[in-house]
Amino acid sequence: MFYDGKKVLVTGGTGFIGTHIVRELLKTGARIRVPIHNRPLIVRDERIETLQADLTRQEDCLRILTGVDYVFHAAGSVGAAGVTNPMSSITINLILTAQILQAAWTAGVQRILIFGSSTGYPAADHPVKEDEMWSGAPHPVYTGYGWMRRYLERLGEFVHSKSGMKVAVVRPTAVYGPWDNFDLKTCHVIPALVRRAVEKENPFVVWGSGEEIRDFLHASDLARACLLMLENYAECDPVNIGYGKTLTIKETVDTVLKAAGHSDAEVVFDSTKPTTIPYRAVDIGKAKQTLGFEPAVSLKEGVKDTVQWYREKTGISPLVDRCCTK
């Protein structure tokens, strides 16, 4: 097998996406290394080596990359509607990715996977294909974050051209699942809906019209796609990863409320409140053709899984009766 016996570094291996990648790698026989900084390791297994490191420091990056064959670079910060300082996520992602790419080049790493983002695409009313990325500027809502992700893709291309190191570039759509961020001030739509539904908020107020279109991907599907990508298509050629089917926010809300046993809530869509963009979805034809990737977790199954995980994490019983009026 491709990963069997290989030393694989997962930056961000204590975070959301990185945890799912680590879990997937444990099935392959890889020797996994995870740098630890501010958060403890979530997945406990004797096959996982941990090293204390600050990835903003080049000397730390070089130290953790010693002897490493492959890298999944999942460390960083994601943009969210509630973030009051959008520059924070832009700055940290630029620094961490530049440091890791430079250190990987110096250390002679064979392959690395980095993340682009569907936020880099121009506004569209259809599932976008990879070659549409540069047909216009990112949607104004995602201007800073989208341009940053575009730049990181170009940075990966530059390092590949100078070093010969193979670079895989994944462009995921909206990702959700266990170990996501559930802080209502900074989280994305599904974790926010899950938390509020589990806490039995009523009335259940949702910003926007409910007709916004999204393509939601379970994190376990993304992790599986990442492993396929690094093995089979580390060609500096970005590939969209999504579920491949769209839903309205209203349909998503209904799915979450059913999974949380809160279907009797009074749902109110507030169009006077700010929302993001009306349509966001990616075409995954290239992933299917190039990687043989097929998403396995439906929104219904994925939300049920996420609700169960959140309840176990917080200790909130399915029978809890709360009335919140946030």
Task: Kindly state the tokens that stand for 164.
Answer: 């010969």
Global model pTM greater than 0.75:
yes
Nearest CA-CA partner of 243 in 274, 283, 199, 194: 283
Q: What confidence score (pLDDT) does residue 82 get? A: 43
Q: What is the DSSP string of 182-240?
A: --TTT--HHHHHHHHHHTT-SSEEEES-S--EE-EEEHHHHHHHHHHHHHH--SS--EE
What is the tens place of the pLDDT at every residue in 72-87? 999 998 765 445 677 8
CATH architecture of 7-177+217-241: 3-Layer(aba) Sandwich (3.40)
What is the tens place of the pLDDT at every residue in 13-58? 999 999 999 999 999 999 999 999 989 999 999 999 999 999 999 9
Amino acid at 35: P
Collapsing DSSP to helix, strand or coil, 5 comes out as: coil
- Those residues of the chain that have pLDDT short of 50 are 81-82, 321-326
